[in-house]
Structure formats: C-alpha cells, structure tokens
Structure 1
Amino acid sequence: MSSATPSPQVQVVAVVGPTAAGKSDLGVELARRLGGEVVNADSMQLYRGMDIGTAKLGAEERGGVPHHLLDVWDVRETASVAEYQRLARTAIDGLLAEGRVPVLVGGSGLYVRAAVDRLEFPGTDPEVRAELEAELAARGSGPLHARLAAADPAAAVAILPSNGRRIVRALEVIALTGRPFTAQLPGPDEEQSVYRTLQLGVDVARPELDARITARVDRMWEAGLPEEVRRLEQAGLREGRTASRALGYQQLLASFAGEYDDATAREETVRTTRRFARRQDTWFRRDGRVHWLSGADVDRPKLADRAWELVRESAAR
C-alpha cells in the first residue's frame, strides 16, 4: 500500500472515540503513513507525570512519530479548554505551515471541538463562580449535577456527576448567558470548522470495550499506578482541581486517605472508566461528521487499513 501523503485538502485528521478503543495506536499509524505528527486531545495527558494512568504512549510506542501537547501542565494547574484551544491551534497551524498533516488524537470531546471548530468560550464572573464553588464544597457535586440536568440535559450527559469543576463551569455559563451551556457550542457542521477535518471514530462493541477497560486498569496497577500517584501526591496532586479528579488518580487518592482499600480503588476505577467511556461515546455519536470504524475494522491491521482508505477517499473529494 502506498504511503504517499494525500491531497492537502485533508488538513487535519482527528481520531476520536471512547477510552481503551485503540485511538493512540491508530493515530501513530496514520501519522506514519501520512508523514504527519500527532497532536494530543486527551485532557489528562497534558499533565506532566500522569503517564501510567492516562495510558500515555512511551517513546518506543510512538514509533518515532513526534507528539505535541503532552506533559504541558503541572498537576497543580487547573485545566482550561480556552488555553488548550490556543495551544492546539498553534501546534496545528505550525504543522500545516510545514506541509505536515496534524493527526489529532483523543477522547476529550470538548477539546477536540475546541481545536477544530469555531468555539468561543464565555468569560467568568468571580462572584457567581465563588457562590457555586461554596455550594459545591458544602453539598457536593450531586445536587449541582441535578440542577445542571434540569437546566441543560445534554450538558449533564456529557459531564460526569463527580466532576464538580466542570459542573460549576457549566452552571456559571448558564447564569452568565441565560442560555444552556451546550448552546454555546455551534452545531457540528462543516461551516463551523476552522480546518477541513476528517474525523474517524473507533467503535468497539460495549462488552469488548468493558473487557478492555478492565484489562487496562489491571495493567496500570501492575505497571505501578499506585506508586505514580504517590509520587504525584508529593508533587501537589491533591491541590490540582483537575488532575486530582482523573480516573484512577482520584480513586487512589481516596484510598490513600483511608476511604477504602486498594482493591476497592481498582474496582471503582473500572466502574467509573466504563461509565466515562459511555459518555464519551454519546458525545461523539451526536456529531454526524464522525466516520465510525466498527465491526471487523477494529482488529489491527484492518483498523489502520480502513482508516487509511477513508483518508484517501476524503482527500480525493
């Protein structure tokens, strides 16, 4: 099969889908065939030191393909989609200027859209934010998530009930604009795209995906995730409003605090990761631009070959 770079009409290739579906390996293979480079769109892989628990590819697994926007933030820093958008656009524009194809890879739906679509992010109001954060501290995220579900059901589906920071932000935007949080997002159509983007979704049947998630979590524990979280705890992980809520990290921090034992932390990580994967799938299914690779395609190398066919077909249009 030829590995000649397709027509520059395909400016950006995005590989999306739920966690444990195989996005990272596919992104590397497509970047290799395209002569392109990978741009990370996984919100937690932006954090330095969060390697095992985010399934960050090691140097050998990257196969010599350059990766951008890994290890950008300190674990104490609060994530900002607006800041990610700036970083991602800078990386994408730089690659395009060099004649290289950016391959955007990740399952953080809002980050993917921030990179390739015309999204503008409303400002913040310190008083509104402080009031919501005080309520979060006093009552927990459950009541706030219930309020979000009443005001904006689509946002409530996309945001985990345990993610207090994102719930607060969504409610803040609703309070400031008088509109649902998801109404701030333009419709997923070509007119809203900054780049001509081909989005490829990796679709894995739910029973298989659940099994993959369990196996991945087991591998993470065996690879030393508890020790990684211990090291990051010393580096200020508990202070990080975003990083401390990452799957696996949150559960281990709770275990270290005596809330439950290590085995329960592992079980909770599997459970919450499976739930998160369903939310990721729901998010991407709403976007009709995503071309899904499913069925037999998810078996390598068939997955890469089918994805490559779609890239070539898109370039020919």
Structure 2
Amino acid sequence: MDKKEKLVVIVGPTAVGKTALSLQLAARFHGEIISGDSMQVYRKMDIGTAKATPEERSLIPHHLIDIIDPDQDYSVASFQAMAVRLISEINQRQRLPFIVGGTGLYIESVTHQFQFAETPQDPELRERLQRIADSEGNEALHRQLEAIDPITAKRLHPNDVKRVIRAIEIYEVTGYKMAEFQHRAKYSPYDLYMIGLTMDRDKLYERINQRVELMIESGLVEEVRQLLDQGYDPSLVSMQGLGYKELIPYLYGEITLERAVNEIKQRTRHFAKRQLSWFRRMTEIEWFDMTDPAGHDEVLQTITERLEGKFHQMPNI
C-alpha cells in the first residue's frame, strides 16, 4: 500500500493570525506554503487580499499567489488540480506542505477529494439570469436559487452572483442540484493534520477593523483606482472581492470614503462569521484560541509537539 502524502492545513477566519503562525511552522518543519485563498491568486491585488509580504515570501516558498490576472477565470476545480499537484511535488522534495487560508470550499475540495462532475452549460440562460441580477438585484436571483436548491443557497452569498448563476444553471439544465455534482470523500486521502485558529468575537472584530484601516493607510484606494484605470470591469469576480467592491462606488463619486470603509469592515466581519461556520463542520480540525497574545507561544509549542509526533519521520526534525 502506498504511503499517504503529508499535508498540514491552517484555517480560520480572516485576521485571526494564520499567516504569522504558518511562517513560524513552515520555518520549523522545512515547509512550503500553498495559499488557500481564492483572491490571492490575482496579480495586482495585493493590499486588499492581505498577501504575505515579498520579504515573508522570500523566507518560505509560497505557491498559488500572483498566478493569474484579475480578468482571468479561476475556479475551485482549478485550485484543486494545482494544489494536489503541488502537494505531491513538495512531498517529493521531502518538505512539508502547508495549505493556509480561509476559503473553505477550496481547502475542503483538496483535503477531502471533491469530485466535480462535468455539467452542460447554457450561455443564453446565464445571460438571462445575469439580467435578473442587474435589474432586480442579487437578492432576487439568490431567492430563485433558494427555491430550487436551499442547501447551495445557504452556502453561497447573494453577492457571489457567478456561482449563484452556475448553481441555477446546473439545476435548470440537468434537473440535479449542485451538491449532487460534488462528491466529498469520507476520509482524507492525505496524512492530514488540520489546525483551526479562533478568537473571541469582539477581539476578532476589533482586529478586522484595524486591518481594514491599515489597508486604507497602505494604499488600498489607489490599488483599486489603478485596476479601474487599467480597464478591469467592476463586475469581474476579482473586482467583487472584499475591499474592492466597496471602494468602486467611492471612486465613482457615489458614496463617501467613510461609508465605503465602514461597509468593508461590516462585510468582512460577516465574512469571518461565515468562514467559522464552514470550518466548524469539519470534525478533523483541532482548534486553538488566539485571543490572548501572551498565549501564542504556548499555542505554537503545542502545535509543534503535535506535528513532531505525527511527522517524526520527516528529515531534519
């Protein structure tokens, strides 16, 4: 029987401290980091996606960051194929792969081997559904999905128009719901250790607000302005990302900067809540509380001991 490939995954809500922990662990365990974030794949979108800095990336090899332009298509199936290949390559180098991020669907598609069935497409239907979103609003389209596939509707945010349209399309064309085209393996194909980071809600929300303020100070408005100046359409999936979508009306003179920033903070807090809901379903995750900064060294020590025990056969450990 083939030996399973090793894989460590670090998940949790935005701003909880995943990047800092991943850098420490990857340095200790001769690791390489695979970004498990659906937005960090885009070039030219650095500040709003909270990528590891060039300095941090020079210390530890990082993958699936800056691999496509904002107007290129990218999907969970794309991520899955790339991540699976990278995990094998990193294991072959006798290094330890770490998937780090907060996009639950992307990460679970790898850890539990989602199988995505090919489904037929209907471009005319897509256009008609897009017109509904444009004329009646994203919520109206989402309600349409809710009526036919409540499970998928609960998982998808109304503003995730592209995936809402895809879910309706699958149902209309095949008569089956999106979930029926995604098979989740009961057990992971990997020798897997999943780390979940959590934090007191008020403290997490405070950190989110501070992070948004720092992004604005670091030039997020100018980053979005440059993307618009380069001709990237505001309706692109990339431009609908948190921090980008909210600043576009400000740059068009439709709302104040204060309102835009408040909307980024509010939507990021809601996003963090959805992230936690997704990961709480995954029973394989061992959770660590990051609320008290004084306890971070203890968390690091505990996780280090867990990894040493699990992967004791790794070289140089």
SS of 1:44's partner is: coil
Fraction of identical pairs, as percent: 35
SS at match of 1:303: helix
Change in 2 beyond 3 A, CA 1:277/1:229: same
Name the amino acid aligned to 1:57: A
- 1:304 corresponds to 2:286: no
Residue range with higher mean Cα deviation, 30-39 or 157-166: 157-166
**Is it true that 1:166 corresponds to 2:155 in the alignment?**
no
- 1:22 alignment partner, one of 17, 20, 28: 17
Separation in structure 2 between the aligned mates of residue 279 and residue 184 of structure 1, nearest angstrom:
23
* CA pair 38-213 structure 1, distance change in 2 beyond 3 A: same
**Secondary structure of 1:114's aligned partner:** helix
- Whole-Å separation in 1 of the counterparts to 2:229 and 2:142: 31
Report the CA distance between 1:63 and its aligned residue. Answer: 6.1
Q: Distance in 1 between matches of 2:200 and 2:210?
A: 15
Which of the numbers 166, 178, 200 marks the counterpart of 1:181? Answer: 178
Instruction: Report the Cα offset of residue 10 of structure 1.
Output: 6.7
Q: SS state of the match for residue 225, structure 2?
A: helix
- Encode CA deviations 1:127-154: one digit per residue, 9 max, x unaligned: 4433322322332210121233343444
- The alpha-carbon distance between structure 1 residues 270 and 97, as it changes in their structure 2 partners (threshold 3 A), is same
Give 1:19's aligned amino acid. Answer: T
Q: Secondary structure at the match of 1:200?
A: strand
Contact 2:112–2:184 (CA<8 Å) still a contact in 1? Answer: no
Unaligned runs of 5+ in 1: 1-7
Contact 2:197 2:290 in 1 (8 A): no
Q: Does 1:137 align with 2:129?
A: no
Report whether the alignment pairs 1:155 with 2:152. Answer: yes
Shift, 1:9, TM fit: 6.1
Query: Structure 1 pair 49/292, CA: closer, same or farther in 2 (3 Å)?
Result: same
**Residues 293 and 306 in structure 1, CA contact (< 8 A), matched pair in contact too:** no
Mapped contact 2:47–2:220 kept (Cα < 8 A): yes
Unaligned runs of 5+ in 2: none
Structure 2 CA distance for partners of 1:70 and 1:209, relative to 1, 3 Å:
same
User: Secondary structure at the residue paired with 2:286?
Assistant: strand
Residues 10 and 77 of structure 1, relative CA distance in 2, 3 Å threshold: closer
Q: CA deviation at 1:116?
A: 2.6
Contact 2:83–2:110 at 8 Å: present in 1 too? yes
2:121 paired residue number: 125
User: Which deviates the most, 265-274 or 17-26?
Assistant: 17-26
**Among candidates 77, 86, 93, match of residue 91 of structure 1:** 86
Q: Deviations 1:9-66 (Å, cap 9, x if unpaired)?
A: 6700010111111111111111111101000110100000111111111122346101
Task: Tell me how far 1:186 sits from its aligned partner.
Answer: 3.5
| 2:283 aligned partner | 288
Alignment partner of 1:226 is 2:233: no
| 1:206-225 matches, cutoff 5 A | 206-225=201-220
State the Cα RMSD in Å. 2.3
Equivalent residue pairs, number: 308
Deviation (angstroms), 1:221: 0.4
> Does 2:45 correspond to 1:50?
yes
Following TM superposition, the consecutive aligned residue runs of length 4 or more in structure 1 with deviations greater than 6 angstroms are none
The amino acid across from 1:307 in the alignment is I
CA shift in 2, pair 1:175/1:227, >3 Å: same
Inter-partner Cα distance in structure 2 for 1:226 and 1:241: 18
Residue in structure 2 matching 1:35, options 15, 30, 34: 30
Which letter does structure 2 place at the counterpart of 1:310? R
Q: Distance in 2 between matches of 1:10 and 1:311?
A: 14
Q: Give the AA of the match of 1:180.
A: K
Q: TM-score, normalised by structure 1?
A: 0.89
- Counterpart residue identity of residue 305, structure 2: E
Q: Structure 1 residues 50-59 or 173-182, which shifts more?
A: 173-182
Moved more, 31-40 or 142-151: 142-151
Q: What code does the residue aligned with 1:42 have?
A: D
**1:303–1:297 Cα change, 3 Å:** farther
Counterpart contact for 1:41–1:104, Cα < 8 Å: yes
